[in-house]
């Protein structure tokens, strides 16, 4: 395994987990050379009895210097689900987790130790200490609350880590821009957790559009969450006594958000629906479905140029329009699909719709699905992206090729989320320039592209 593929950024110091230790000025010793020298050393070293098979890459095991060393930030309920997808990967070793809530770190440690059959997983409470101390970690799973996704990813990439971040991966346009800039500057691999981009049924829908089998596509439809509203709360919950600092580090839990008094409901997930912490019903599912639509229509490097205000609390029915005339319509209900996070693509020759729970997409003509398995195989061969979102990330960590849900794709689809929210908040139609990344002739809207961040938790 070439250490160059884990170049740590400007200094280009590769991870030690992928590089054998050697004395200064000495050429590296390969495993084969080591075994050969051991065999000729007069029997003084009997390798099979001293080195376990896992260390030599035998019995299907991956040698330690070929493994991706993984850590976690803010791994809670959703994060534990993602981690369960990651732990079975044989070339990945999860070694440490950090959380402002010690009870959550303890649960992650218990799960990881049970998986590996040891007690080696280390827990941390302070993110800065964690990032500084663990130079051995190659990649981080970031599954904090929404308010922390971008800043935690930025801090991790600056520390030389590749990042798999849960969605929605930024709270503002400015945060998304900084994630893109940081990944580029420090040459980091980044994957946002829009896992439907790595599911076969959604891939089939996207490929039917891309290959022209729906004719000229004029409209795509994207599901937004059927709870909460676009307008979020700007108040805060009543103050409660702070728990001991060794249970919850409240300052770190808040992170870049404005100071708010502690309330237990926040740390139990009750932060949703508050402007300080959330991206509304539009961001909740739009982070998935906007990304899905924009990848399908080839708009991974742009965003809609027009946003039409709708006079309802949620954004249901909003029409967004790209520069080429393509319309993406936001829908809260299930008229166009069954299940959650649905998308539908409509063209002159047919349509396709898919959502969670579908064994295969719905289509206007069953003939569209006759070769669906071949469609997926062709996609994998053409792109190199596999039908596993976490595996796609780990493959990119090794190859240094961009992951399917790379920073620019995340930023542009999340810009659509933020612009749609701003349109609803200001209750007027909006025009947006995706090249300059600013609203046209609207200083009030442009001010909402960023938020003040509370020191020391700033980008």
Residue 64: pLDDT band (50, 70, 90) is confident
Given this model, what pLDDT does residue 41 score?
43
Q: Is the pLDDT of residue 19 over 60?
A: no
What is the mean pLDDT of the segment spanning 291-316? 98
Given this model, what pLDDT does residue 48 score?
47
Given this model, what pLDDT does residue 58 score?
56
Q: Is the pLDDT of residue 97 over 80?
A: yes
Given this model, what pLDDT does residue 199 score?
98
| Superfamily of segment(s) 196-230+279-447 | Dihydrodipicolinate Reductase; domain 2 (3.30.360.10)
Given this model, what pLDDT does residue 61 score?
76
Residue 163: pLDDT band (50, 70, 90) is very high
Given this model, what pLDDT does residue 9 score?
44
Among the ranges given (43-47, 54-58, 162-166, 438-442), the one the predictor scored with the smallest mean pLDDT? 43-47
Q: Is the pLDDT of residue 49 over 70?
A: no
Higher pLDDT, 36 or 349: 349
Higher pLDDT, 37 or 192: 192
List Cβ neighbours of 122 (8 Å cut-off, separation of 6 or more).
95, 96, 97, 109
pLDDT tens column, 278-295: 999 999 999 999 999 999
For the chain, domain boundaries: 29-195, 196-230+279-447
pLDDT tens column, 224-250: 999 999 999 999 999 999 999 889 999
Does domain 29-195 correspond to CATH entry 3.40.50.720?
A: yes
What is the mean pLDDT of the segment spanning 6-20? 41
């Amino acid at each position: 395994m070439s250490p160059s593929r884990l170049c740590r950024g400007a200094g280009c110091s590769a991870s030690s987990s992928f590089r054998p230790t050697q004395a200064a000025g000495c050429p590296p010793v390969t495993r084969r050379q080591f075994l050969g020298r051991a065999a000729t050393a007069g029997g003084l070293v009997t390798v099979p009895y001293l080195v376990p098979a896992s260390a030599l890459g035998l019995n299907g095991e991956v040698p330690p210097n070929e493994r991706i060393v993984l850590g976690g930030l803010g791994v809670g309920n959703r994060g534990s689900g993602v981690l369960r997808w990651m732990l079975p990967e044989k070339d990945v070793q999860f070694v440490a987790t950090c959380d402002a809530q010690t009870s959550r770190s303890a649960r992650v440690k218990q799960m990881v130790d049970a998986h590996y059959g040891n007690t080696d997983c280390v827990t941390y409470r302070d993110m800065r200490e964690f990032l500084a101390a663990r130079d051995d970690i190659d990649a981080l799973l970031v599954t904090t609350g929404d308010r922390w996704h971008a800043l935690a990813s930025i801090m991790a990439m600056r520390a030389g880590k590749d990042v798999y971040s849960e969605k929605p991966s930024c709270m503002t346009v400015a945060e998304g821009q900084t994630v893109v800039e940081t990944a580029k500057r420090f040459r980091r691999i980044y994957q946002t957790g829009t896992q439907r981009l790595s599911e076969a049924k959604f891939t089939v829908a996207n490929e039917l559009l891309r290959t022209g089998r729906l004719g000229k596509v004029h409209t795509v439809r994207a599901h937004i969450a059927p709870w909460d509203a676009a307008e979020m709360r700007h108040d805060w919950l009543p103050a409660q006594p702070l728990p001991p600092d060794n249970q919850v580090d409240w300052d770190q839990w808040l992170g870049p958000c404005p100071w708010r008094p502690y309330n237990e409901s926040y740390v139990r997930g009750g932060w949703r629906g508050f402007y300080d912490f959330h991206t509304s019903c539009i961001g909740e599912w739009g982070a998935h479905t906007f990304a899905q639509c924009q990848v399908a229509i080839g708009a991974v490097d742009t965003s809609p140029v027009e946003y039409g205000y709708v006079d309802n609390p949620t954004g249901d029915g909003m029409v967004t329009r790209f520069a080429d005339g393509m319309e993406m319509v936001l829908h809260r209900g299930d008229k166009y699909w069954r299940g959650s996070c649905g998308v539908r693509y409509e063209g002159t020759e047919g349509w396709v719709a898919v959502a969670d729970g579908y064994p295969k997409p719905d289509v206007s003509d069953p003939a569209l699905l006759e070769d669906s398995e071949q469609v997926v195989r062709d996609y994998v061969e053409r792109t190199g992206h596999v039908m596993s979102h976490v595996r796609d990330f780990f493959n990119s960590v090794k190859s240094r090729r961009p992951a399917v849900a790379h920073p620019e794709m995340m930023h542009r689809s999340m810009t659509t989320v933020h612009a749609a929210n701003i349109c609803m908040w200001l209750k007027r139609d909006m025009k947006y320039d995706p090249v300059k990344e600013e609203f046209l002739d609207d200083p009030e809207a442009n001010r909402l592209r960023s938020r003040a961040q509370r020191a020391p938790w700033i980008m």
